[in-house]
A and B are shown apart, each in its own frame.
Chain A
């Protein structure tokens, strides 16, 4: 009989996880990195393989870091929102092209438009690990001192932008 109880036991383990998952919002996991300095990086830029961008190059301004990939279907959902945000001006968005191929990423931007000032190229996900990337897409707000002020997991929606990110940006830029 014991052997036949195994499926039931496994099922309950699964249920425990699903129940925990219900209480967590996949889009609102607080990151241990919030209010800590953004991890340093040094990466080539997607469109210009010969150009290296460092975190310290971006000190002195407030900016958004958006993690994306051409294989990520949810990124397609948020993409028009970012395009619209970039079009309205405001703070620059830097992309982090995560675990992707250069030509795929570039093709994707040509196809759907490019809201990014530049995209860091992170083919093996190393920068992603430093930033505790949990899934794609994710968006970080980083202030002029290079400190992460907010992290959003999942697609950025117009509501999130209006109610959370933009008020924070106004505060940081004030």
Chain B
């Protein structure tokens, strides 16, 4: 009964989404205020319906209803409750439902926090979001109904993919989807502004906090996914350039570019056409990521359920959504006009280069991801692309970007002088070089590539320091203490500095772990031991442990340094009973300075185990860097000027209404 209820509710939600997508949009074109007024109520109603349907599916999982095909394929009677709930989005159908749920969360947030925006504009935004929801609901109902029955019911389920049975997996997909789907808001703002013809600085200011919010979630989702892969895949890597990782990384790159170009559009009115294109692209890449993951055109560990029919539907949807948006763009963008002029040496041109580099990096990732497909489609399948390609190309793009990251924030808008900037930053640069060499010397090896990475990381930190010092220096008209002057710094600016600091920490972590990480594979039995990077590892015992749905061999390894025990680690080798999959459950002792990472391999005929011990200096900074970036983004998004209720709506409204008649 519950699954049927969920199914019917989904159908109702589709109906509501269609009303939400069509009526307010038509109302905005024809000036019908009663139609426009429908936007918010329908958005709320759709949200309630989708939540109810999501609850229905969750209930089927919790109650072990194996007469539902999706539950039978992704759960098992021995699966613990938290994982049964996470299993709701552990497969294709349920993760689509999560997608739609997230879309509704964002829609409701827009409906709720857009009181200060013109009604017509909000109606268009909510309508665009409604149409997107309708597309996905239709996709779900036609090709991937999560409530499909399995009659007669299965005696027991096939269990959740063991890779997904990890605490990180419970929150990784929702966060990632919040980010993915979050770009739909920036997209809807862009489309609404293109239709209404009010693509201006005020539009950019409205879009900025939403873009930053989506970007924060995406950063968190990607970072969490990387951390999960590190802990769960059991081989100590943290990024694999897997097609699905790339699919989430491309919108991130486009979104990062968008955040920066929105700043120019808001402050100087320039880059408008480019900004709106980026808003469309960021969301289009999210959609395309969905296509790549779901259609099976590329093979990947993540691609759990693939079906060409689904692929065809998503492709048609892609053509409709992206094609229509780009057509609208081609039609409307030429009349947008250029912003104010700027010199070659100016903050604008710095941000322009930033955008070009990020866009190029995004294109390089897209190319690398689709390369096998391109070659295949053209009938020549000779070259495969792996991490060697991505690592090289990506570093080539990111190095100049980070170099600019130290210069750009200190430049003045419109026009600046190169010599002046160079003078302000010369000590920062010298300091960065010295610090990088010193770090290499302390670590015991100065390698050119690493030193380059470290110089860039220190360079960003030093230039943030210079920027901060200059801004806090006593100036005429700005009296008071340092603290007083610090308080006067706009939050958006502090947020930017912190986010850039996050990039520096991240780069530092990557450079350190790539060069100074060490590892060793050893045979270990009870009481055997090994040494690595000054640590002593002794295997105490291996015992058999029974989990709820797996059996495991669990090692107990004592880690000591200078004869002092610092950790007892318990790596496991698990066999999940239902799918009969071996899984490596690594054990990690982590602090800011280093991770000690132990994973168990195969058991040898002698009874000993192959154990991989890894020492990873500063790897935690990779994820801490992500958290710091997020924190910076959050600060910037919460700047006062986005929250003030007194916008210039009164002035704007006529312009918006005027735009709709065209």
CA distance A22 to B310 in the complex (A): 10
- For the complex with contacts A11-B284, A18-B373, 11 further pairs of A-B residues with Cβ separation under 8 Å are A4-B273, A4-B330, A12-B323, A18-B318, A23-B308, A71-B386, A110-B601, A110-B602, A111-B235, A132-B382, A133-B384
Compute how far the CA of A27 lies from the CA of B308 in the bound complex, rounded to whole angstroms.
13
**Is A112 touching B323 in the complex (CB atoms < 8 A)?**
no
Given A8-B326, A17-B373, A111-B235, answer yes or no on A26-B334 (Cβ-Cβ < 8 Å). no
Q: What is the CB-to-nearest-CB distance from B414 to chain A, in angstroms, rounded to a whole number?
A: 25
Q: Which of B12-20, B250-258, B291-299 contacts A (4 or more CB under 8 A)?
A: B291-299
Give the contacting residue for A5; candidates B273, B330, B384, B386; CB below 8 A. B330
Whether B521 is near chain A, meaning CB under 8 Å from some CB there, is: yes
Are A107 and B381 in touch, CB under 8 angstroms? no
- Once the chains bind, are A69 and B386 in contact (CB under 8 Å)? yes
Take A8-B323, A132-B382, A155-B299 as given contacts and tell me if A107 and B612 are in contact as well, using a CB distance cutoff of 8 Å: yes
Which chain A residue shows the least CB distance to B371?
A135
Q: 1/0 per position for B335-358, CB-CB distance to A under 8 A? A: 000000000000000000000000
Q: Are B382's CB and A129's CB within 8 A?
A: yes
11 A-B pairs (CB sep. < 8 Å)? A1-B331, A4-B330, A4-B334, A26-B297, A73-B301, A80-B581, A107-B612, A108-B235, A111-B234, A132-B381, A135-B372
B189 CB to nearest A CB, Å: 18
Contact A1 B334 (CB under 8 A): yes
As a 0/1 sequence over residues 146 to 157 of chain A, the CB contacts with chain B under 8 angstroms (1 = contact) are 000000001100
Residue A93 is within 8 A (CB to CB) of chain B in the complex: no
Asked if B377 contacts A134 (CB within 8 A), the reply is: no
**At the interface, is chain A mostly helix, strand, loop or mixed?**
helix
The answer to whether A18 touches B376 (Cβ under 8 A) is: no
Say yes or no: is A113 at the interface (Cβ < 8 Å to chain B): yes
Q: Across the interface, which residues of B come within 8 angstroms of A77, CB to CB? A: 301
User: Do B601 and A22 touch (CB < 8 A)?
Assistant: no
A19 within 8 A of B: yes
A29 touches B376 (CB 8 A): yes
Task: Name A6's closest neighbour in chain B (CB-CB).
Answer: B330
Contact B388 A99, beta carbon cutoff 8 Å: yes
In chain A, positions 93-130 with a C-beta closer than 8 Å to chain B are 99, 106-108, 110-114, 128-129
Residues of B within 8 A of A21 (CB): 297, 373, 376-377
CB distance from B154 to the nearest CB of A (A): 19
Instruction: Give the Cβ gap from A124 to chain B, nearest Cβ, in Å.
Output: 10
- Asked whether B301 lies within 8 Å of A74 as measured between CB atoms, the reply is yes
Nearest residue, chain A, Cβ from B377: A20
Q: CB of B300 within 8 A of chain A? A: yes
Query: Are A134 and B291 in contact, CB atoms less than 8 angstroms apart?
Result: no
Give chain A nearest CB distance to B572 CB in angstroms.
Answer: 14
Known: A22-B295, A73-B240, A135-B372. A15 touches B384 (CB 8 A): no
Are B388 and A134 in touch, CB under 8 angstroms? no
Whether B323 pairs with A107 at a CB distance below 8 angstroms is no
Least distance between B413 CB and chain A CB atoms (Å): 26
Closest to A5 in B: B330
Cβ proximity bits A1-44 to B, threshold 8 Å, 1 near / 0 not: 10111011001101101111111111101010000000000000
Residues 577-594 of chain B, each 1 if its beta carbon lies under 8 Å from chain A, else 0: 000111010000000000
Q: Is A72 an interface residue (CB 8 A)?
A: yes
Closest to B333 in A: A4
Partner of B376, one of A19, A26, A72: A26
Tell me, yes or no, whether A46 is within 8 Å of chain B by CB.
no
A64 within 8 A of B: no
**B48 located at the interface, meaning its Cβ lies under 8 Å from any Cβ of chain A in the complex:** no
Choose one: A3, A17, A76, A111; the contact of B370 (CB below 8 Å): A17
Q: Which residues of B contact A14 (CB under 8 A)?
A: 370
Within 8 Å CB of B311, what residues of A? Answer: 22
Q: Are A111 and B584 neighbours in the complex by a CB distance under 8 Å?
A: yes
Q: Which residues of B contact A76 (CB under 8 A)?
A: 233, 301
Closest A residue by C-beta to B322: A11
Determine whether the beta carbon of A71 is less than 8 Å from that of B387: yes
Question: Contact at B235–A80, with CB atoms within 8 Å?
Answer: no
Residues of B with C-beta under 8 A to A128: 384
C-alpha gap A155/B233 in the complex (Å): 17
Q: Point out the residues of chain A lying under 8 angstroms from B235, CB to CB.
A: 108, 111
The answer, yes or no, to whether A45 is at the interface (CB within 8 Å) is no
B contact residues around A69 at 8 Å (CB): 386
Question: CA–CA, A5 to B580, complex, Å?
Answer: 52
Q: A96 to nearest B CB, angstroms?
A: 12
Task: Tell whether, in the assembled complex, residue B601 and residue A27 are in contact, meaning their CB atoms are under 8 Å apart.
Answer: no
**Which residue from chain B places its CB closest to the CB of A76 in the assembled complex?**
B301
Contact of A18 among B242, B297, B584 (CB under 8 A): B297
Contacts of A111 in B (CB 8 A): 234-235, 521, 584, 599, 601-602, 610, 612
